[in-house]
Structure 1
Amino acid sequence: MSKSLSITATKRDGLGKGPARRLRSANLIPVVTYGHGAAATSMTIKAEDSEQVLHHSGIVELVINGSDKKTTVLKTFQRHPISNKILHIDFQEVRTDEVVFTLVPLVSVGEPAGTRQGGQLEQVMMEIEVKSLPMNIPDVIKADVSALNLDEALHVRNLVFPEGVSTDVAADQVVFNVRAPKVQEVEETAAAEGEEAAAPAADTKKSDAE
């Protein structure tokens, strides 16, 4: 199960795009915590800590101004569309005895049988929303793909979740599949189009001959 990640946060007063840009220039990321009916709290964390947060699936303990603490989970985040830098993070405050919903990465285990038949493994879902108590949130959900043959798929219903962890995602949602290489598909499509284009020309010659 995932361990708690503890990072330092500092309360902030200045809100809006201008102050946020100045914070990011100072290597700080604006964050907000909310939950349990309390007013949202605006803070900052270090940019390097924000990367740790995005690679952590469990509880994030925010130590605010060196004393106050909030038990949270990552809820949403924003990245710059060009630089891909983190712009903002939202945390949801939680209690250790309440069920929470959070996203957990999906990873494949094993070599699909279909790859030995010329296929390629494709990952359709990169992460999945799970529900569990905060301390039970797994770091990743592993999917054994070794039994997948060519043109077969592994679905959400085939995933094995740790005890106390489940999901509301549709059971028939595809997670991984094994498909023929895309290059081969393109070549087959081009060949089919070539045959269709050649057909009218043959008809014309026949008509001229008549």
Structure 2
Amino acid sequence: MSEVRLAAEPRTEFGKGAARRARRAGLVPGVVYGHGQAPVHVNLPGHDLMMALKTPNVLLSVPLEGKDEFVLPKAVQRDAIKGFLKHVDLLLVRRGEAVTVEIPLLTEGELAPGGNLLEHVLNTLPVEAEATHLPESVTVSVEGLSAGASILAKDLVLPKGTTLAVDADTVVLHVVSAQAEAPAEGETEEEAGAEA
């Protein structure tokens, strides 16, 4: 679990004009909330925040009201065309606190021969873990699996201290048989079958 310290300055101006001025200055407007506290509006360094968000569920340390606090990105708004960060919502977390996050599901290995296809029913896996020890991903082996095989959430080996936040019998991966080849243009299905 990576932890990134970011500078943060209180935000006192609000509205579209203030947000545009902040973005022109290389800052991203954000809000920190959680633990029953009043939301705190901040401006964060845009480039540093963008680099930190490349890591799934990155734990950020930001100075708030004179002390460093841990926060997790909960909602990130990007410009639809240019992709730059427009706004970020940050959830205040404490060391030892359990939080629910979604982690990427990675696969390794080769399916059994025969042209089968691996269907990702879930691309991310909801898990619960301690806020300062969140796993970055979970990897599952698909080595030798053939058509019809499924991997359930309960089959995954999770990092220590991590539990499922989804039903244990949820299908996360499924192997399906490849579709028969489509007939060539101008050829009927019967002719394609006769050649096979």
TM over 0.5: yes
Larger radius of gyration: 1
TM class by shorter-chain length?
0.7 to 0.9
Q: Structure 1 34/185 Cα, relative in aligned 2: closer, same or farther at 3 Å?
A: farther
Q: For 1:41-100, what per-residue CA distance to the aligned partner results, in whole angstroms no more than 9, with x for missing partners?
A: 1112222222213424242111359x5311112222222333333322111111112211
1:173 and 2:170 matched = yes
Q: Secondary structure at the match of 1:93?
A: strand
Q: Structure 1 111/85 Cα, relative in aligned 2: closer, same or farther at 3 Å?
A: farther
Distance, in Å, in 2 between the alignment partners of 1:124 and 1:135 is 28
Q: For 1:153-206, what per-residue CA distance to the aligned partner results, in whole angstroms no more than 9, with x for missing partners?
A: 32222211112111221333332233344xx46838x9xxx89xxxxxxxxxxx
Partner of 1:25: 24
Distance, in Å, in 1 between the alignment partners of 2:40 and 2:181 is 53
Contact 1:58 1:135 in 2 (8 A): no
Give the partner amino acid of 2:73.
L
Contact 1:35 1:92 in 2 (8 A): yes
- Give the paired residue count: 187
1:122 and 2:127 matched = no
Larger mean Cα displacement after TM superposition, 95-104 or 31-40: 95-104
Contact 1:58 1:138 in 2 (8 A): no
Q: Secondary structure at the match of 2:103?
A: strand
* RMSD of equivalent CA atoms: 2.8
Give the partner amino acid of 2:111.
P
List alignment gaps of at least 5 residues for structure 1.
Answer: 196-210
Equivalence map 1:51-70=2 (5 Å):
51=50, 52-64=52-64, 68-70=67-69
Q: Structure 1 62/151 Cα, relative in aligned 2: closer, same or farther at 3 Å?
A: same
* Structure that is richer in helix per residue: 1
1:146 and 2:143 matched = yes
List alignment gaps of at least 5 residues for structure 2.
Answer: 191-196
* Structure that is richer in strand per residue: 2
Contact 2:117 2:177 in 1 (8 A): yes
TM-score (norm 1): 0.75
Distance, in Å, in 2 between the alignment partners of 1:54 and 1:103 is 14
TM-score (norm 2): 0.80
Contact 1:78 1:86 in 2 (8 A): yes
Contact 2:100 2:165 in 1 (8 A): no
Q: Percent identity?
A: 29
Partner of 1:75: 74
Distance, in Å, in 2 between the alignment partners of 1:33 and 1:49 is 17
Distance, in Å, in 1 between the alignment partners of 2:141 and 2:90 is 32
